Amino acid sequence: MTDEKILEVDPPEDKRKPKPESLYKYYSLNEYSIQVLENLEIFASHPKILNDPFDSHDSLIEFDDKETIRSFINPVWENPDIQESYENNIESLKETVQFWFRTMIYGRLGIYSMTEKPTNLLMWSYYTNHKGFCIEFDFNKFPFKFFGPFQINYSEEFKPLSIKNGGEICMLYQALLKAKDWEHEQEWRILPEREGDNPMEMKELDSLKDVSDLTTRNFPINKDCINKIILGNQFFDNDNELAPSKKGLTVTLKTKIDFKNRLLNAIEKLNIPVEIIFRNEPHFEFRTEPILIERINENELEITKNVG
């Protein structure tokens, strides 16, 4: 795909940004997020499970070309019933082809969303309730094949793109266009590709639940992909878990003890730098500071600033 073609689905020129060196992913503190570090793998979503119901919507691609429609339903085109359906109920056939286009595309591709800013108050609120964590990824070191990263194009208009522009351009247009309401997320997106003969699972689609030989949507990473972990401002319960000490702060874990211990153990095992979110008083702005975490016993920790 040429750069000129990609520009057709990029944000307007005055909104375009240079590609970041690294990107960030916010996680709540739960079983799924802990496994990212314990198993060293990320999950590349199908559009059906994204939190925006209009994300990658079928209607963003207009199947308005007879030959293209025929190419998607070959070799069954020779079936007289199919031909009759095309002639007598073209709108129904268009809807069917729209659905199967996305089904085929996202059987091979997943969606993994990241953001360019680790101190976004709203993102910490939406995705972690300030009690989770954020991973800074060096996406250039991801060991699997992917397309991107692409800057999301936030728009007030959702106009369908003709399939005459080509399947790849239409796929990118569909995957990268979001409502302007989401602009504060400053999202960048990669599209991991599953190589091999077997497509990825799509449990969210009833028509495909019983299809055999599907692969998972998990993609392996390694520790070199992770630059650092940032803990939320309330990862440790300020009222119940923290107490001043001579060196810094003593933490006595009392909430989500298992998840916190598993996360901290994974961080220690992988030897990943850790930072934590602080608020720049008196403003509602966040900053991060490097910290050292030393274990006193199973549920007690010592936290100090990492000045080295």
Span 141-167, pLDDT tens digits = 999 999 999 999 999 988 899 888 888
User: What is the average per-residue pLDDT within 249-255?
Assistant: 94
Please give the mean pLDDT across all residues of the chain: 88
**Rounded CA gap, 200 and 193, in Å?**
10
What confidence category does residue 27 fall into, taking pLDDT thresholds of 50, 70 and 90? very high
**Rounded CA gap, 32 and 159, in Å?**
35
Global pTM reads 0.90
- 12: helix, strand or coil: coil
Any domain includes 186: yes
Question: Residue 272 above 60 pLDDT?
Answer: yes
What confidence category does residue 28 fall into, taking pLDDT thresholds of 50, 70 and 90? very high
**Rounded CA gap, 254 and 58, in Å?**
46
The answer to whether the beta carbons of residues 223 and 238 sit under 8 Å apart is no
Any domain includes 157: yes
The answer to whether the beta carbons of residues 160 and 62 sit under 8 Å apart is yes
What confidence category does residue 226 fall into, taking pLDDT thresholds of 50, 70 and 90? very high
Structural domain for 165, as ranges: 3-223
Pairing mode of beta strands 218-220, 41-43: antiparallel
Can you give the pLDDT at residue 209? Answer: 64
Proportion of the chain above pLDDT 70, given as a percent: 88
Can you give the pLDDT at residue 69? Answer: 75
Question: Residue 306 above 90 pLDDT?
Answer: no
Burial class (CB in 10 A: 0-12, 13-18, 19+), 272: middle
Higher-scoring residue by pLDDT: 81, 60: 60
The answer to whether the beta carbons of residues 47 and 107 sit under 8 Å apart is no
Question: Residue 87 above 90 pLDDT?
Answer: no
- 238: helix, strand or coil: coil
What confidence category does residue 9 fall into, taking pLDDT thresholds of 50, 70 and 90? confident
The answer to whether the beta carbons of residues 112 and 42 sit under 8 Å apart is yes
Residue spans of beta strands (DSSP E) within 63-208: 112-115, 133-137, 146-151, 153-155, 161-162, 177-179, 187-192
User: What is the average per-residue pLDDT within 274-278?
Assistant: 95
Proportion of the chain above pLDDT 90, given as a percent: 59
Can you give the C-alpha Rg of the chain in angstroms?
Answer: 23
Backbone angles phi, psi at 134, to 5 degrees: -135, 140
Number of domains in the chain: 1
Any domain includes 230: no
H/E run at residue 94: helix 90-108
What confidence category does residue 92 fall into, taking pLDDT thresholds of 50, 70 and 90? confident
Q: Quick one: which of 57, 61, 58, 54 has its CA closest to 179?
A: 54
Can you give the pLDDT at residue 4? Answer: 47
Q: Quick one: which of 22, 18, 20, 38 has its CA closest to 225?
A: 22
Can you give the pLDDT at residue 206? Answer: 66
* Residue carrying structure tokens 């799509």: 202
Taking the chain, what is the end-to-end CA distance rounded to the nearest angstrom? 45
Any domain includes 236: no
Higher-scoring residue by pLDDT: 186, 87: 186
Question: Residue 3 above 60 pLDDT?
Answer: no
Question: Residue 2 above 50 pLDDT?
Answer: no
Q: Quick one: which of 150, 143, 123, 142 has its CA closest to 134?
A: 123
Tens-digit pLDDT profile for residues 94-143: 777 777 788 788 889 999 999 999 999 999 999 999 999 999 999 999 99
**Rounded CA gap, 120 and 233, in Å?**
12
Any domain includes 306: no
Residues 220, 223, 224, 229, Cα dihedral to 10°: 110
Q: Quick one: which of 181, 226, 212, 198 has its CA closest to 42?
A: 226
User: What is the average per-residue pLDDT within 198-206?
Assistant: 76
